Amino acid sequence: MYPEDLKYTETHEWARVEGTEVTVGISSYAANELGDIVFVDLPEVGAAVAVGESMGSIESVKAVEELRAPVTGTVSAVNEGLADTPEVVNSDPYGEGWMVKITLSDASELAKLMDAAAYKATIESGS
């Protein structure tokens, strides 16, 4: 349900760490809670982002939620395909529904992210 190779935030973003690059999206739980996603507003490539701060938004038929940076760094890529097909975040949140890639500037921040088991426990406890 929640891929073991990813790290998670309390605000439901996931992070796939590959060297100094971190791919970010939202969890299947978040996508399900939002409902049908109709628009994704992502930062520009080259934008500086800071852990915990808003770097965009996700709009669904139910609500608009902030996309928060799980790490501090510089945006190295954005998923341009989401402009035309934002619903892929619902159907494939851990694959084609990725949102941004960040070049990590402080690897120590990764230790503050949850593993899949901790994330699942957080959701099940209603946090």
Q: State mean pLDDT over 10-35.
A: 97
Residue 121 in any domain: the answer is no
Share of the chain above pLDDT 70, in %: 99
Q: What is the DSSP string of 60-98?
A: ESS-EEEEE-SS-EEEEEE-GGGGT-TTHHHH-TTTTT-
pLDDT tens digits, one per residue of 75-126: 999 999 999 999 999 999 999 999 999 999 999 999 999 999 999 999 998 7
Give the list of residues 6+ apart from residue 108 with CB closer than 8 angstroms, or none. none
**Total number of domains constituting the chain:** 1
- pLDDT, tens digit, for every residue of 100-110? 999 999 999 99
Query: Model's pTM, two decimal places?
Result: 0.95
Q: Containing domain of residue 28, as a range? A: 7-110
pLDDT confidence of 23, banded at 50, 70, 90?
very high
Rounded to an integer, the average pLDDT of 11-29 is 97
Rounded-to-integer distance, Cα 43 and Cα 113, Å: 22
| Rounded to 5°, angle at Cα 37 from 42 and 49 | 20
Query: Does a structural domain hold residue 62?
Result: yes
Whether the predicted pLDDT of 127 surpasses 80: no
In a domain, 119, yes or no: no
Residue 86 in domain: yes
CATH of the domain at 65: 2.40.50.100
For residue 126, is it left (φ>0), alpha (ψ between -120 and 50) or beta?
A: left
The overall average pLDDT reported for the chain is: 96
Rounded alpha-carbon distances, angstroms, from residue 6 to 1, 21, 24, 45, 74: 12, 13, 10, 23, 20
